[in-house]
Amino acid sequence: VMWTHGYAGETSSDSIMALSDGQGGFTITPAPTAAQGAHALQLFDYDNDGLLDLLAWSSNGAQLARNVGTSWTDVTTASLADQPDPPTVTTAHALVVADFDLDGDTDFVTATTGSVLLAENSGTPNGSLRVSLRGTASNRLGIGAKVQLRAGSLSTRLDTSATTPSVGPADLVFGLGARPGGDVVRVLWPSGILQAEVPQPEGVLSTLVAVQELDREPSSCPLLFTWNGTQFEFITDFLGGGEMGYWRGPGHYNTPDPVEYVRIPANRLRPRDGRLELRITNELEEVIFFDHLSLVSVAHPNDITVYPNEGQTVPPKPHRLHGVRNIRTPVRVFNDKGTDMTERIAALDRRYPDEFGLKPFRGYAESHTLTLDLGPRDNQAITLLLTGWTDYAFSSDNVAAHQAGLTPSLPVLQIKNDDGSWRNAVDIGIPVGRPQTIAVDLTDQLRAGEHEVRIVTDMRVYWDQIQIGRPVSIDRPERNTVVREQTLHPTTAALRVRGFSKELHPNGTEPTTYNYEQVSMVSPWKTMSGSYTRPGDVRELLVASDDLFAIAKNGDEVVLSFDAAQLDPLPANWTRTYLLRTDGFIKEMDINSASPDRVEPLPFHAMSAYPYSRFEHYPKTPVHETYRENFNTRHVVRSVPRIDVVR
């Protein structure tokens, strides 16, 4: 976001002003006479004409210069004639600019030893618009927010601060001149959320705009949609393990796990004109590096259900398949307050146990448990199927939590001993999809007669459906008698600019889901500057894991088609489960994440960490150099879209 104007100078020398040309550039001119030798100054719109004027303070007292567009006019005498004699800088201790009497124009107050003097603005016929902020993820008053107004040809900005002297007005009052109101107010919150407030059609924003910070996650993961025979249906988001630069502690960032297998039931992916069609979209405030995408068909008998070995743990889980049959609901499920939750976890219906205390930091909760009574099992092996989603902490949340002495604990499965005590059995990990199923094989964990287990964590993990079943061994050499795997590579793969799907919250609950058919081209997000892959054919970039990435910005989409005719016929009483094999990385724009403002440096699989040291670098082979020259030719230089394209 560009400053409207800027000032630089010293009390003992000439000062300069940098005046915005409205095109992202500045014109450097001598500061007005009123600012020469100033010890403090403020830019604010004293006459509400839409242009920021200059209040300077020097040994001569207050000086006011009016901005007339291309020059400044000294209006000190006319504007301050009726005010008390202004104190000199040697007696003034503080200067605050705000609309103290709430009449729509900006006043100022100065404090001296033993007294406070108010200079009340008597106003002009020009209108004004006041913006009131209330933070959610940010601080309550929105201190540190950057607020922009667009009203016809007028585009201006004010920043909030809590410094003395303040770098901007303590009140957000925008002059409108003769304009009836504002077209859009946009706030860049300290949390990084970019939020626009627009009027109803044919209306304007006038007098007062109260902005409550949206409680939304600025980043997540790419979204997967599949053709289900009727329409493109939202399946889940994925690749959360591939996030880079996630702050875990002072000087410590996460180690990304770039490979994930995304489960797609056969009834949610059906051929269209002989092709299996998938769409992968980047809808949030992140850059996605797609290295490999392929579709694995797992054929298996109808009475077996197949799941990949997913769920984020440290270190990552090895890839394997879980086969499960005779699936049922636990006999009883209850929380640590003794409240029965069996009905809530019985179906995937967006009703889940959530009666646990929350810490004041996103993603953090009070330590809590969820206990499962598995019922009689005749000492047979058990596999748990835990389907849910995680309300993540972002890097800035982790910084705040660390300062409060908190460290999150990933979900752990405990088993109840005969004496009533509990022992740790399995590190479950967190679901990184919204939703995602985690299969937990308890074959070697449960002893004879044991039937109670519990999940323990202090993270915000919500389990929507919990099931148990009998494991079927499908990881042995002769497993082709049970399952048959077949990998398809895309026949076509294209990167294209698409826009943003409509967000939905069925029943008013989380997590967010998306309607693929309703698209907006208006971006509600910031975008990392840097070089992205140009739209077009990207199939050669996705057929192998080789650090040749299709780099997608928010609003982009990867269009994938697979040839359904390549699939082997199914035996009688068999079905398929599809797995989208993905390999890639994600980088978000949280200010406390590593390298949050640029696409570069590019990741690579052999890097020891991200950000990597100067002794490591992205591959410089002729193939990789040619790739960067030929594919990554879409350059973004402005991280925040212009406010005139918000509507």
pLDDT score recorded for residue 290: 99
pLDDT of 538 > 50? The answer is yes
pTM for the whole thing? 0.86
Q: Convert the pLDDT of each residue in 505-536 to its tens digit.
A: 998 899 999 999 999 987 878 899 999 999 99
CA distances from 129 to 45, 170, 214, 624, 645 (A): 12, 15, 21, 53, 21
Using CA of residue 540, residue 546, residue 548, residue 549, what is the dihedral sign?
positive
CATH 2.60.120 fits 321-474, yes or no: yes
**Containing H/E element for 396?**
helix 395-403
pLDDT of 61 > 60? The answer is yes
pLDDT of 475 > 70? The answer is no
Q: Convert the pLDDT of each residue in 371-391 to its tens digit.
A: 999 998 877 899 999 999 999
CA distances from 498 to 495, 518, 644 (A): 9, 11, 20
Superfamily of domain 127-212: Immunoglobulins (2.60.40.10)
pLDDT class for 86, splitting at 50, 70, 90?
low
In sequence order, which residues have a C-beta less than 8 Å from that of residue 264 and are 6 or more positions away? 224, 226, 235, 577, 578, 579, 580
pLDDT score recorded for residue 3: 45
pLDDT class for 1, splitting at 50, 70, 90?
very low
Please tell me whether residue 432 adopts helix, strand or coil conformation.
coil
Residue 599's Cβ-side half-sphere holds a number of Cα atoms within 13 Å equal to 24
DSSP H helical ranges for 458-538 = none
- Tell me if the bond preceding 315 is cis, omega within 30° of 0: yes
**Alpha carbons 503 and 49: distance in angstroms, whole number:** 38
**Alpha carbons 524 and 223: distance in angstroms, whole number:** 17
**Alpha carbons 230 and 268: distance in angstroms, whole number:** 10
Q: Convert the pLDDT of each residue in 621-631 to its tens digit.
A: 999 999 999 99
**Alpha carbons 373 and 578: distance in angstroms, whole number:** 31
pLDDT class for 98, splitting at 50, 70, 90?
confident
**Alpha carbons 531 and 635: distance in angstroms, whole number:** 4
Q: Convert the pLDDT of each residue in 322-350 to its tens digit.
A: 999 999 999 999 999 999 999 999 999 99
In sequence order, which residues have a C-beta less than 8 Å from that of residue 339 and are 6 or more positions away? 355
Share of the chain above pLDDT 70, in %: 90
pLDDT score recorded for residue 441: 96
364's tokens: 């953090």
Delimit the domains of the chain by residue range.
16-119, 127-212, 218-301+482-646, 321-474
- Candidates 292, 321, 219, 221; CA nearest to 605 is 292
Mean residue pLDDT of the chain comes to 89
pLDDT class for 479, splitting at 50, 70, 90?
low
Q: Convert the pLDDT of each residue in 399-436 to its tens digit.
A: 999 999 999 999 999 999 999 999 999 999 999 999 99
CA distances from 258 to 238, 302, 585 (A): 10, 31, 6
Q: Which residues of 504-516 are buried (b: 16+ CB within 10 A; e: fewer)?
A: eeeeeebbbbbeb
In sequence order, which residues have a C-beta less than 8 Å from that of residue 534 and are 6 or more positions away? 495, 631, 632, 633, 634
Average pLDDT over residues 574-598: 95
Same fold, 127-212 and 321-474: no
**Alpha carbons 126 and 177: distance in angstroms, whole number:** 5
pLDDT score recorded for residue 584: 98
Q: Convert the pLDDT of each residue in 127-168 to its tens digit.
A: 999 999 998 888 888 888 999 999 988 888 888 876 655 556
Strand ranges across the sheet with 207-212: 173-177, 127-134, 207-212
- Candidates 194, 191, 139; CA nearest to 162 is 139
- Candidates 277, 269, 266; CA nearest to 562 is 277
